[in-house]
Chains A and B, each alone.
Chain A
Amino acid sequence: MRYGEIGFDLEVDLSRGSIDRVETDPNDTKLYLGGLGTNAKIMWDRVPAETDAFSPDNLLIFSSGLLCGTAAPGSNRTIVSTISPQTKLMAYSMMGGFFAPELKYAGYDKVVISGKSEELVYLWINNDKVEIRDASHLKGMGATATSEAIRTELKDPDIQVAAIGLAGENRVFYASIEQGRSSASRGGIGAVMGDKGLKAIAVRGTRDINVADPAKYMELCDSVLKYIKFRGENPIKGVPPILQGLGSPQEMAIVDEEWHTTNFTWGNSRTRRKDFWTHEIEQKWKETQENVRTRLISCHNCPMKCGATISVPGLPTYMMKCYSKLTYTMAAFSDLDFGFRIAQKATEYGVDGFSAPQAMAFGLELLEAGILTLEDFPGMPEDNEGRFFYLLDKIVRREGIGDYLADGTYWAARRIGKGAEKFDHNTIKKHEQLPLKLGMLNPVYYLMYSTGEKINITQIEGQFPQEPFATREAREEFVKDWFQVPDEKFKKYYVDWEPRGEMSNPYYPTVEASCEIVDWMEKMHYIDDALGMCAGLSSFPLKPPYHIHNYPEFVTAATGIKMNKDDVWKSATRTRTLMRALNVRRGMRRADDKPPEDHWRKRFPDLEKQLLDQYYKLKGFNDQGIPTKESLHELEMDYVAEEFEQKGIYSNG
């Protein structure tokens, strides 16, 4: 018997209509833990380098993590992996909610989808009974509406559904997969689902998940719950409200948006409005938010309440979390009421809340610059809000200019030409980024932006504070109960870090310290993504309940596989390296590892080169960012080195 995990995957080939329950290799659990780790291994083994996102050979993997569905609070993430139509690299967007635990209760760790269905279908997983069902009646339906329709037709309100909307069906390059209060949005994975003719996956499970050392496991869970309570009562002082507690930034609970609205950029990530936040705005936005927010809601087995049910008068109810209430608002230079209204449509259509508003603002910028003309926007209203609604409709239907914008700013700019490329200024590896433009280069962030395989800073950054507190005393106070650090030296890095002067950005933290800090933050994310733990209780917030010191105990007690700190760390290194290898095999090189040109006003090319060199060295990559034969051998991944040799990847650089 397997513990923690189930030990079986569901293999569904939509071309042939076949469904198989396949036992997985327990040795892979030792090496890669599960979740993203084992997804990456499957992608490496089964998706050849030249496979296009929209090829039937591309796989779409819905995975739970190793701890999902166990009693560990917050272990509920679904890790979706595939080749992205937008970046052409491996995408691994994730979502919270209830899907992954339900999948494990049904008796599977993963659903691996291959092939393509000619007709629109949905997958119904009910414990051992799995069916591919006709979805022609759901064609064009919104993602939330689809979930409700499936629950109604299968007559069970406890069914969990992951579905795409019109954007996914029409292969918009930033289409999301929606699941009630959560969505996996980044990288266009919803487009791959649409391309495969798969409208939804519905799952219901009533089986046990076993753990190897029950008493120890519960002791660990209880101590995490206790610490969550402690952190709730002891918010971190000296940081903006949304960074004080655990969970995702508490966008649904908190109304104070001074930090986002004055630090982040408006429009096509252009304009900072340092004086935007006034008492009047605060009152108005508070009223808006409290009027539409019905209830704060949680994901499976998590005491945090990061999401909310939103009921805007006159519109269908939907659920929201985190930052999307502001991305449309700010892209359109509008207000929060508009943000909640358009997010309702965007959620039903199923689009990413970062990429979609930026693509729209980008389109309107091109119009303003004369690169596009009003003829490209037939029938477009004149007000800003109306224009955004208009563009959203065009994009998800791929009509006219919408067909261009549906590929994201990078591809749209190149297809439009006439200098449009310059307006695609906020992408990394062809993928839209947070709307943020800053002054002084931060070496730690430089590395995370440049090298992160997730290509999305909020899923790379974490528990090392974003900036130093003003005084040494405050920093010393902060590190006092900072037991989450993997090594005491990180406390010193932080205490010595000054807002100004010699010991400040960009030369402090030093090159070496910066690489170590990034390594720590990145490792914690990789561990979370393998275990299916929400970053909101682990790698993302300051002083989280899960960390490198208790994770090995969790893994050991759950699975019965004895793992210490070094073993877990090494497993995360392995997955990080395999992710890099997958993308290297698809052509990614050093030249791609860079932040948006204008992310910082002050750049330091020599320092940046040193940072990247040192980071590669620490990671066991060569100067092109390719994992070396030696480091692969040490990680028991000679199979990667062999293929690199065969393909001449080392010799051709």
Chain B
Amino acid sequence: MAKVTKIVKSITIDADKCNGCKACEVICSSWHATPRYSSNNPARSRIRIVRLPLRDIYLPVYAGEYTESECTGRDKYIIDGKEYNECDFCRASCPSRNLFKEPDSGLPLKCDMCEETPALDQPKCVEWCHAEALIYVEREEEVEEDEQPKLGDVEIGIGAMIDKFGLQQVLDTVARMAKP
């Protein structure tokens, strides 16, 4: 397979610099509102700060993949004398917690690096973090060319329905609906 160069977008999180102001949560939810900036609500943000001031824990975490079932991780991490839950570091929108879900519908949220055309210089949360706890980094990576065609929106949607109801039930329903 052919190799291609891909730009990977990432954010370096310097948790030592975070001071818990939640500006990232405010601007994220505001940017992703429809119409853009029309509302804000940190509960809808795709970045959340685990903020426990008395234990000096300030940990920005980005929303990642949706997962259907919770994992078995219940371990504790002790770093520099501070105790963290394993969950604190996890990006998943998962059944074990309310994090990274739309508060009304429960639908999962995921960070999209504020992608749009024309592209922003950096994600909004990075721009609004004056503490410089969030640092945007682009790097080039050589990857194998993806020969799989990209799934369209309808395919992704049907895939989710199949996951939930099973292939047969979806087929039956589509067939029924297709009848004139």
Q: Residues on A close to B: CB < 8 A?
A: 69-71, 73, 98, 105, 144, 148, 157-158, 180-181, 205-211, 214-215, 217-218, 225, 228-229, 232, 294-303, 305, 309, 311, 316-319
A297 to B56, CA, bound (A): 10
Q: Which residue of chain A lies nearest to B39 when distances are taken between CB atoms in the complex?
A: A208
Check if A214 sits within 8 Å of B38, measured CB to CB: yes
Tell me what chain B mostly uses at the interface: helix, strand, loop, or mixed.
mixed
Cβ contacts under 8 Å, B27 to chain A? 71
Cβ contacts under 8 Å, B30 to chain A? 71, 218
Check if B38 sits within 8 Å of A303, measured CB to CB: no
Shortest CB distance B81–A (Å): 11
Chain B interface size, under 10 / 10 to 19 / 20 to 34 / 35 or more? 20 to 34
Cβ contacts under 8 Å, A181 to chain B? 53
- Offer 9 A-B interface pairs, CB within 8 angstroms, sorted by A: A73-B23, A144-B54, A157-B51, A209-B41, A214-B33, A215-B36, A229-B130, A309-B56, A311-B56
A309 to B56, CA, bound (A): 8
A73 to B130, CA, bound (A): 11
Check if B40 sits within 8 Å of A302, measured CB to CB: no
**Interface digits, B15-57 against A, CB 8 Å rule (1 contact, 0 not)?**
0000111110011001001011111111110000011111110
Check if A301 sits within 8 Å of B38, measured CB to CB: no
Q: Which residue of chain B lies nearest to A158 when distances are taken between CB atoms in the complex?
A: B51
Q: Considering the complex, which residues of chain B in the window 89-130 have a beta carbon less than 8 Å from any beta carbon of chain A? A: 103, 128, 130
Identify the 3 closest CB pairs spanning chains A and B, nearest first. Answer: A303-B130, A206-B43, A298-B21
Q: Is B131 an interface residue (CB 8 A)?
A: yes
Cβ contacts under 8 Å, B35 to chain A? 214
Check if B41 sits within 8 Å of A208, measured CB to CB: yes
A26 to B19, CA, bound (A): 36
Give the interface centre of A215, A299, A301 by most chain B CB atoms within 10 Å.
A301
Check if A207 sits within 8 Å of B54, measured CB to CB: no
Contacting B39 at CB < 8 Å: which of A209, A302, A309?
A209
A639 to B128, CA, bound (A): 46
Tell me what chain A mostly uses at the interface: helix, strand, loop, or mixed.
loop
Check if A217 sits within 8 Å of B39, measured CB to CB: no
Give the interface centre of A158, A217, A318 by most chain B CB atoms within 10 Å.
A158
A228 to B41, CA, bound (A): 23
Check if B38 sits within 8 Å of A299, measured CB to CB: no
Check if A105 sits within 8 Å of B42, measured CB to CB: yes
A377 to B8, CA, bound (A): 70
Cβ contacts under 8 Å, A302 to chain B? 21, 23
A207 to B41, CA, bound (A): 6
Give the interface centre of B20, B33, B36 by most chain A CB atoms within 10 Å.
B20
Contacting B23 at CB < 8 Å: which of A70, A206, A217, A303?
A303
A508 to B54, CA, bound (A): 49
Check if A301 sits within 8 Å of B26, measured CB to CB: yes
Cβ contacts under 8 Å, B54 to chain A? 144, 148, 309, 316-318
Given contacts A210-B39, A214-B35, A214-B37, contact A305 B51 (CB under 8 A): no
Cβ contacts under 8 Å, A218 to chain B? 30, 37
Contacting B26 at CB < 8 Å: which of A71, A144, A217, A228?
A71
A151 to B131, CA, bound (A): 27
Check if A210 sits within 8 Å of B42, measured CB to CB: no
Shortest CB distance A11–B (Å): 24
Q: Which residue of chain A lies nearest to B27 when distances are taken between CB atoms in the complex?
A: A71
A413 to B131, CA, bound (A): 48
Q: Which residue of chain A lies nearest to B42 when distances are taken between CB atoms in the complex?
A: A105
Check if A298 sits within 8 Å of B19, measured CB to CB: yes
Q: Which residue of chain A lies nearest to B103 when distances are taken between CB atoms in the complex?
A: A206
Check if B56 sits within 8 Å of A294, measured CB to CB: yes
Shortest CB distance A113–B (Å): 26
Check if A300 sits within 8 Å of B37, measured CB to CB: no
Check if A301 sits within 8 Å of B19, measured CB to CB: no
A387 to B35, CA, bound (A): 61
Check if A105 sits within 8 Å of B19, measured CB to CB: no
Cβ contacts under 8 Å, B21 to chain A? 298-303
